[in-house]
């Protein structure tokens, strides 16, 4: 997906190219081996991914904000590779649990670094680069949660909840995620005018259920949601 210029929907293009951080750069290097790999090569790629996970878990507590974000993004991709690919059939359950616990730990560390800007709280237009970082944080944390949720279903565990993140804004629309510069400022201002009570929040999705109709704010959010937002909504529907 990186070779085609379309990173996963929780990785912003701002964080690729010259600004890419080491954890994500190493991840792209490891995953690039999948492109032309044969079945016998998968174990080598899995071993490289496992070694990178060990490195991330050993150092993430000392990372700055940007490296921590890149670490979680890389860890999510490693987890998908190691737990949900064909080569995972013989992986011991305790190893899987260790990977999952590590994903939780890095996700919580990133959440603790801040996931809402003061400008967002004050209904102001934030700086674009600052907004991209916090939007990528939120998407990456939710991507990690979705991996945790899928794993828990496959292994027969109760679904992982994220009630503690209910205050966090729901994923922003694709038009904001993909835009930049002066165009972004205008788009953000127009978008914010549709949300007089502030951006849609995760807690507004978490209260949905069979006996609860979709409220106007959530309906508006669904109308502008991209594929990542729709994936999140499918999780909400399956839980309820």
User: pLDDT by residue (tens digit) across 24-75?
Assistant: 999 999 998 887 666 557 888 999 999 999 999 999 999 999 999 999 999 9
The reported pTM is: 0.92
CB 171 within 8 Å of CB 226: yes
pLDDT at position 164 is: 80
The pair of structure tokens assigned to 39 is 């079945």
| Residues of the chain with confidence (pLDDT) below 50 | none
Cα atoms found within 13 Å of the Cα of residue 172, Cβ hemisphere only: 27
Nearest to 67 by CA among 99, 27, 96: 27
The pair of structure tokens assigned to 159 is 């679904």
Crossing angle of helices 128-154/227-239, nearest 10°? 40
Residues 6+ apart with CB under 8 A from 84: 150
List b or e across 142-173, with b for residues whose CB sees 16 or more CB atoms inside 10 angstroms: bbbbbbbbbbeeeeeeeebebeebeebbbbbb
Return the C-alpha torsion angle 119, 122, 125, 130, nearest 10.
10
pLDDT averaged over every residue in the chain: 89
* Secondary structure in 3-state letters for the chain: CCCCCCCCCCCCHHHCHHHCCHHHHHHHHHHHHHCCCCHHHHHHHHHHHHHHHHHHHHHHHHCCHHHHHHHHHHHHHHHHHHHHCHHHCCCCHHHHHHHHHHHHHHHHHHHHCCCCCHHHHCCCCCCHHHHHHHHHHHHHHHHHHHHHHHHHHHCCCCCCCCHHHCCCECCCCHHHHHCCHHHHHHHHHHHHCCCCCCCCEHHHHHCCECCECCCHHHHHHHHHCCHHHHHHHHHHHHHC
């Amino acid at each position: 997906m990186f070779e085609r210029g379309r990173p996963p929907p929780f990785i912003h293009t701002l964080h690729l190219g010259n600004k890419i951080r080491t954890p994500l750069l190493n991840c792209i290097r490891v995953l690039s081996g999948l492109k032309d790999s044969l079945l016998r090569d998968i174990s080598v790629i899995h071993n490289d991914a496992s070694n990178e996970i060990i490195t991330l878990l050993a150092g993430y507590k000392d990372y700055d904000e940007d490296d921590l974000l890149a670490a979680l993004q890389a860890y999510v991709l490693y987890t998908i590779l190691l737990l949900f690919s064909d080569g995972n059939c013989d992986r011991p359950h305790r190893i899987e649990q260790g990977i999952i616990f590590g994903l939780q730990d890095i996700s919580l560390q990133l959440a603790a670094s801040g996931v809402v800007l003061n400008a967002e709280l004050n209904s102001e237009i934030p700086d674009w680069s600052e907004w991209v970082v916090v939007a990528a944080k939120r998407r990456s944390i939710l991507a990690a949660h979705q991996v945790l949720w899928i794993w828990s279903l496959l292994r027969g565990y109760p679904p992982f909840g994220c009630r503690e993140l209910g205050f966090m804004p729901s994923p922003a629309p694709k038009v904001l995620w993909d835009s930049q510069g002066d165009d972004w400022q205008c788009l953000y201002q127009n978008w914010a005018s549709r949300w007089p009570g502030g951006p849609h929040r995760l807690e507004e999705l978490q209260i949905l259920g069979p006996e609860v109709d979709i409220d106007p704010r959530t309906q508006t959010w669904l109308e502008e949601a991209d594929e990542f937002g729709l994936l999140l909504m499918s999780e909400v529907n399956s839980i309820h």
